[in-house]
């Protein structure tokens, strides 16, 4: 009991650790939830790009002595809009366009922050988070923005799922996919803004992808996946915070490491998709394939190639 | 015989009265991806209660025509109207079954979830499905024989079952136009039977059904009109007038082999070997034995 008390309860006797706890719980839940869409739509790269592109906004706000949140928010929205617009032109491939955009904006941020006296320290805190330095104001802002993200996710859940699943049918069903794409990118941007103090610009993409990827291995329902992913995010945040406190290492990095460890566990042990049960799964898949489809393939060898 | 009577000259008639009845009218339609024109000069008038087969070689523009009607590919030139109004503004009334290859089968949704998506246009933004939606979804899943699998993730189904789930989604939508893109591709006999029955029911219910297929036998049996495409409109008209060696030859761009008696119901491009498994055996128009019917190759 003494051990448990020492490990889990004692650290939160400090006010800064209480604030950090609230911050990582908020961050873990919101990144985990929105991460479900990031994973289902294969937007890891875009999440990474957004988090980098937000960086100059953070730096400019910092240099002007304004709210870092506000700076990040403005740049997040600008970048989201740019990505959606770039995606509609076909001259440049989308991933190239995004690559150009985020590398350029990130460099702008680095150059701007190199003008400050405490260059290295400031850079590190933006890039990797500074959860122990969270103020009460930061906390409330995170709660407000995080709450907004969750509300919008709930309101537009069915449309977001449909666009992720079957884009052409979504369009055919009258869904305005352009605005939903923009909405999703804005939600991701807001989530990145919420996560800045906990894990920073660079590591946030791990929290957007890793918990959701683990959750995907455990369920075939989107809503369950969102819940599991948010739970993994919270667990990683709290465990990572505790471990970093006791081991005296960087909190942001530790949180991401715990998330990665959780993913590894799930990847190995998941009941149906886990690597350790793969032989059993393969047998079952073979059994399924002997039904109608295989028979038709025998009858018309070119069926798979025709009509695409 | 009601079917025969339902056939009217698809290109005759002018605007006005016909439009109000819910005709789907394609006028001088041209579609280009970037600068490459993939489909041009399509004119067609489709009436309620008609089944229209969209045929032609791969790359001939079958899928493109369907998507242009749905307004999900940019139309370079021309118009598509439904009941006299731009079709793109009436998307909720057009139900679409995409090619199976276009779907992400690993996506974590169940059979029930997919069918429910057909209700979204009626729900509109922000609203969640209620009991009328659930009743409709149950009815259509029973209709396509997938009610027992409603909790199954779609990737675990056979090809034919997957096709039936997407048809259930289209039926759940209760639209006026049903657009099927290669629904007969690589599926089992039971599913073919289900699709055939559904097309017939939709015809009886006065819907417009567009069936894009490379299966000429099925198209000639099931469809009132044929729309023959080879990057342009080769021919559009009642099946007996368009399902001819001349038209098919022009559509597929090569000589054709006639099978069966003159007045011909079966023909294929000569360069195409290979048997075709699809049959629509009990259809009244299926008067001749069809063998060695090929499908197009690129």
Q: Which residues, listed in sequence order, are joined to residue B31 by a DSSP beta bridge? A: B39, B75
**Nearest to residue A264, comparing CAs of A249, A279, A274, A277?**
A274
Vertex B290: Cα angle to B289 and B294 (nearest 5): 175
- Residue A44 in any domain: the answer is yes
Helix/strand/coil percentages in chain A, nearest 5: 85, 0, 15
CB B264, CB B244: distance < 8 Å: yes
Distance CA A212, CA A225 (A): 7
**Nearest to residue B279, comparing CAs of B220, B201, B205?**
B220
- Summarize pLDDT for A224-269 with one digit per residue, the tens: 999 999 999 999 999 999 999 999 998 999 999 999 999 999 999 8
Distance CA B287, CA A76 (A): 65
Considering the segment(s) B2-269 as one domain, its CATH architecture is: 3-Layer(aba) Sandwich (3.40)
Residues 6+ apart with CB under 8 A from A259: A206, A207, A210, A211, A232, A233, A236, A240
DSSP track, A100-159: HHHHHHHHHHHHHHTTSTTHHHHHHHHHH--GGG--HHHHHHHHHHHHHHHHHHHHTHHH
Count of alpha carbons within 13 angstroms of residue A67, beta-carbon side: 11
How far are the Cα atoms of A67, A184, B139 from residue B55, in angstroms, in the given order? 61, 38, 31
Residue whose entry in the numeric block shows the structure tokens 């007038």: B241
pLDDT value at residue B7: 42
Decide if B295 and A165 are in contact by the 8 Å CB cutoff. Answer: no
Record the tokens describing residue A294, joined without a space.
């295989």
pLDDT at residue B255 is higher than 50: yes
Record the tokens describing residue A239, joined without a space.
């465990």
pLDDT at residue B277 is higher than 90: no
Distance CA B265, CA B216 (A): 9
Distance CA B61, CA B54 (A): 9
ipTM: 0.77
B216 Cα distance to chain centroid: 13
Domain ranges of chain B: 2-269
Please give the residue range of the domain that contains residue A107.
2-289
Q: What is the mean pLDDT of chain B?
A: 79
pLDDT value at residue A285: 54
pLDDT at residue B288 is higher than 80: no
More reliable by pLDDT, B79 or B285 = B79
Distance CA B154, CA B149 (A): 9
Q: What are phi and psi of B20, to 5 degrees?
A: -65, -25
Q: How confident is the model over B243-267, as a mean pLDDT?
A: 65
Distance CA B34, CA A88 (A): 12
Contact status of B185 with chain A (Cβ, < 8 Å):
yes
Comparing alpha-carbon positions, the chain A residue that sits nearest to B292 is A300
How far are the Cα atoms of A30, A217, A251, B42 from residue A27, in angstroms, in the given order? 5, 22, 13, 54
More reliable by pLDDT, B203 or A93 = B203
More reliable by pLDDT, A62 or B97 = B97
- Summarize pLDDT for A191-226 with one digit per residue, the tens: 998 888 888 888 899 999 999 999 999 998 999 999
Decide if A165 and B67 are in contact by the 8 Å CB cutoff. Answer: no
Decide if A166 and B98 are in contact by the 8 Å CB cutoff. Answer: yes
Record the tokens describing residue B277, joined without a space.
């498994």
Q: How confident is the model over B77-93, as a mean pLDDT?
A: 86
Record the tokens describing residue A43, joined without a space.
């937007």
Contact status of B72 with chain A (Cβ, < 8 Å):
yes
Distance CA A304, CA A307 (A): 8
- Residue A294 in any domain: the answer is no
pLDDT at residue A175 is higher than 70: yes
The beta-carbon neighbor of A222 closest among B95, B104, B108 is B108
- Residue A307 in any domain: the answer is no
Eight-class DSSP state of B296? -
User: What is the pLDDT confidence band of residue B264, given thresholds at 50, 70 and 90?
Assistant: very low
User: What is the pLDDT confidence band of residue B65, given thresholds at 50, 70 and 90?
Assistant: very high
What's the sign of the alpha-carbon dihedral A199, A205, A211, A214?
Answer: negative
- Summarize pLDDT for B212-232 with one digit per residue, the tens: 998 888 888 889 999 999 888
Helix/strand/coil percentages in chain B, nearest 5: 35, 25, 40
Q: Which residues, listed in sequence order, are joined to residue B233 by a DSSP beta bridge? A: B229
Number of CB pairs, chain A paired with chain B, less than 8 A apart: 127
Number of domains in chain A: 1
pLDDT at residue A295 is higher than 60: no
- Which CATH number characterizes residue A157's domain? 1.10.3470.10
Q: How confident is the model over B234-251, as a mean pLDDT?
A: 86
Q: How confident is the model over B126-147, as a mean pLDDT?
A: 90
- B295 contact residues in A (CB cutoff 8 A): 302, 306
Chain A interface residues facing chain B, Cβ-Cβ under 8 Å? 40, 90, 155-156, 158-159, 161-162, 164-166, 168-169, 171-175, 216, 219-222, 225, 288, 291-293, 295-297, 299-304, 306-308
- Residue A300 in any domain: the answer is no
pLDDT value at residue B54: 93
pLDDT value at residue A290: 44
Distance CA B30, CA B14 (A): 21
How far are the Cα atoms of B93, B109, B165, B256 from residue B116, in angstroms, in the given order? 16, 11, 10, 44
Q: How confident is the model over B243-271, as a mean pLDDT?
A: 62
Q: Where are the beta strands (DSSP E) in chain B?
A: 24-33, 36-46, 51-55, 75-82, 85-86, 94-97, 177-181, 208-212, 225-229, 233-238, 256-259, 266-269
pLDDT value at residue B220: 84
The beta-carbon neighbor of B92 closest among A159, A168, A173 is A173
Residue whose entry in the numeric block shows the structure tokens 């099927």: B180
- Summarize pLDDT for A1-43 with one digit per residue, the tens: 567 888 888 888 888 999 999 999 999 999 999 999 999 998 8
Decide if A169 and B96 are in contact by the 8 Å CB cutoff. Answer: yes
Comparing alpha-carbon positions, the chain A residue that sits nearest to B105 is A165
**Nearest to residue B108, comparing CAs of B50, B173, B176, B155?**
B155
- A90 contact residues in B (CB cutoff 8 A): 34
Q: Which residues, listed in sequence order, are joined to residue A221 by a DSSP beta bridge? A: none
More reliable by pLDDT, B175 or A87 = B175
CB A233, CB A207: distance < 8 Å: yes
**Portion 277-296 of B in contact with A at CB < 8 A:** 277, 295-296
């Amino acid at each position: 009991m003494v051990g448990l008390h020492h490990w889990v309860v004692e650290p939160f006797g400090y006010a800064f650790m209480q604030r950090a706890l609230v911050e990582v719980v908020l961050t873990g839940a919101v990144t985990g939830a929105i991460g479900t869409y990031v994973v289902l739509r294969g937007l890891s790269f875009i999440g990474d790009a957004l988090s980098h592109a937000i960086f100059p906004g953070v730096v400019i706000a910092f240099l002007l002595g304004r709210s870092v949140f506000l700076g990040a928010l403005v740049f997040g929205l600008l970048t989201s809009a740019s990505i959606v617009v770039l995606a509609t032109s076909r001259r440049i491939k989308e991933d190239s366009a995004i690559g150009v955009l985020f590398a350029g904006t990130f460099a702008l941020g680095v150059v701007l922050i190199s003008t400050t006296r405490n260059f290295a320290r400031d850079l590190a805190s933006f890039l990797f988070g500074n959860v122990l330095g969270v103020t009460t104001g930061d906390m409330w802002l995170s709660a407000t923005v995080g709450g907004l993200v969750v509300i919008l996710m709930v309101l537009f859940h069915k449309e977001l799922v449909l666009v992720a699943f079957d884009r052409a049918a979504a369009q055919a069903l009258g869904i305005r996919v352009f605005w939903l794409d923009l909405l999703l990118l804005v939600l991701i941007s807001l989530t990145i803004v919420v996560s800045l103090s906990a894990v920073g610009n660079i590591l946030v993409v791990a929290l957007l992808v890793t918990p959701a990827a683990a959750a995907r291995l455990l369920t075939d329902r989107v809503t369950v996946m969102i819940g599991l992913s948010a739970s993994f995010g919270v667990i990683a945040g709290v465990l990572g915070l505790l471990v970093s406190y006791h081991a005296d290492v960087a909190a942001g990095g530790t949180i991401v490491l715990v998330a990665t460890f959780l993913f590894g566990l799930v990847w190995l042990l998941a009941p149906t998709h886990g690597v350790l049960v793969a032989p059993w799964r393969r047998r079952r898949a073979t059994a399924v394939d002997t039904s109608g489809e295989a028979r038709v393939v025998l009858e018309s060898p070119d069926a798979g190639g025709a009509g695409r | 015989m009601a079917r025969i009577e339902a056939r009217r000259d698809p290109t005759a008639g002018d605007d006005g009265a016909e439009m109000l009845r819910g005709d789907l009218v394609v006028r001088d339609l041209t579609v280009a991806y970037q600068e490459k024109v993939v489909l041009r000069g399509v004119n067609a008038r489709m009436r309620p209660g008609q089944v229209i087969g969209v045929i032609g070689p791969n790359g001939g523009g079958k899928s493109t025509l369907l998507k242009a009607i749905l307004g999900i590919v940019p139309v370079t030139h021309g118009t598509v109207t439904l009941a006299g109004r731009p079709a793109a503004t009436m998307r909720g009334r057009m139900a679409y079954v995409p090619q199976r290859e276009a779907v992400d089968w690993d996506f974590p949704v169940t059979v029930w979830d997919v069918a429910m998506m057909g209700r979204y246009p009626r729900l509109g933004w922000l609203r969640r499905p209620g009991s009328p939606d659930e009743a409709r979804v149950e009815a259509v899943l029973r209709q396509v024989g997938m009610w027992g699998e409603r909790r199954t993730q779609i990737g675990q189904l056979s090809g034919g079952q997957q096709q039936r789930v997407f048809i259930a989604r289209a039926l759940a939508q209760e639209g006026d136009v049903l657009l099927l893109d290669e629904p007969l591709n690589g599926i089992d006999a039971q599913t073919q039977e289900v699709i055939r029955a559904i097309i017939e029911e939709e015809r009886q219910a006065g819907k417009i059904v567009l069936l894009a297929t490379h299966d000429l036998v099925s198209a000639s049996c099931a469809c009132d009109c044929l729309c023959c495409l080879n990057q342009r409109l080769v021919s559009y008209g009642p099946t007996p007038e368009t399902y001819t060696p001349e038209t098919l030859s022009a559509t597929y761009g090569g000589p054709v082999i006639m099978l069966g008696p003159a007045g011909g119901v079966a023909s294929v491009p000569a360069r195409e070997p290979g048997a075709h498994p699809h049959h629509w055996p009990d259809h009244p128009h299926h008067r001749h034995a069809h063998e060695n019917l090929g499908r197009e190759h690129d």
